[in-house]
Amino acid sequence: MKKRVGIFVSGGGSNMRALVEDMDATHPAAPVVVVSNNENAGGITWAQEAGLATVVVDHRPYGRDRAAFEGAINEALLPYDLDLICLAGFMRVLTAGFVTPWRGRMLNIHPSLLPKYRGLHTHTRALEAGETEHGCTVHLVTPELDDGPILGQARVPVEEGDTPDTLAARVLVQEHKLYPAVLRRFTAGDSTPLML
C-alpha cells in the first residue's frame, strides 16, 4: 500500500510540484492532499488543476492562537488518513502540539545548509557572511524551528556578483532535485542522509 502524503504550501508551490510530479506509479508514496494557510497560494491553484484534493485553513482568524489554527488543520486532515506530511514552503511556525505526534513522519525543506541559517532570509544572510557555498536541506521536523535529523543536502557555489535572488534561484533548482530524491528514499525506508 502506498504511503499517503499531505503537502503543506504557502506560496508558489514549486517544491510541491516537484514532489507530486515524482510520485509516479513506481513510487512508494502518493500525494493525497495539498494544504495551505493561504487560499491565494499558487500551489493550491496548481494542485486543484492537477486534480488533487486541497484544504485551505486561513491562519488569520485565529490571531495568536496557534493551537486553534493547528486544531482546525488536524480536523480537516482526518478524512485523508495521512502517513506523512511534507512541508514545502509552508510559512507558518508549527508548535510542538502539532509536530510531536508526527515525529519521524514530517519532512521539511529549508533553503540553507543546516545547521547554518535557520529561519528567514537565508540567501541574504549567506551572502552577507561571505559564504562560498550555500544550498538546501531536507530534514525531519522537530519542535525546534529548522532543526531535526538531516535526510539530505544539496550544495551550490556562491558566485561573484550574486544577489539574494540569483542565489535563491540557483538553490531552488537543487531543491527540486533534492526533495523528491529524499522522499523517494525515505518512503522506501532509507533515512541515511543523501548528499547531492
Q: Which of 38, 44, 59, 89 binds ligand GRF (CB under 6 A)?
A: 89
Least distance to ligand GRF from the beta carbon of 60, Å? 19
Q: Would you count residue 15 as binding ligand GRF (CB under 6 A)?
A: yes
The pairing of beta strand 194-195 with beta strand 150-157: parallel
What number of chain residues touch ligand GRF (CB under 6 A)?
Answer: 14
CA distance linking residue 93 with residue 10, whole number of Å: 12
Terminal Cα-to-Cα distance of the chain (whole angstroms): 29
Nearby residues of 159 by Cβ (< 8 Å), 6 or more positions away:
166, 170
Q: Which of 14, 37, 142, 153 binds ligand GRF (CB under 6 A)?
A: 14
CA distance linking residue 182 with residue 6, whole number of Å: 16
Q: Would you count residue 109 as binding ligand GRF (CB under 6 A)?
A: yes
- Which residue among 27, 110, 134, 139 is the active-site one? 110
| Number of Cβ within a 10 Å radius of residue 73 | 19
Least distance to ligand GRF from the beta carbon of 97, Å? 22
Is 139 catalytic? The answer is no
Which residues are at the interface with ligand GRF (CB under 6 A)? 9, 11-15, 43, 88-89, 109-111, 172, 175
Could you give the residue numbers annotated as active site?
Answer: 110
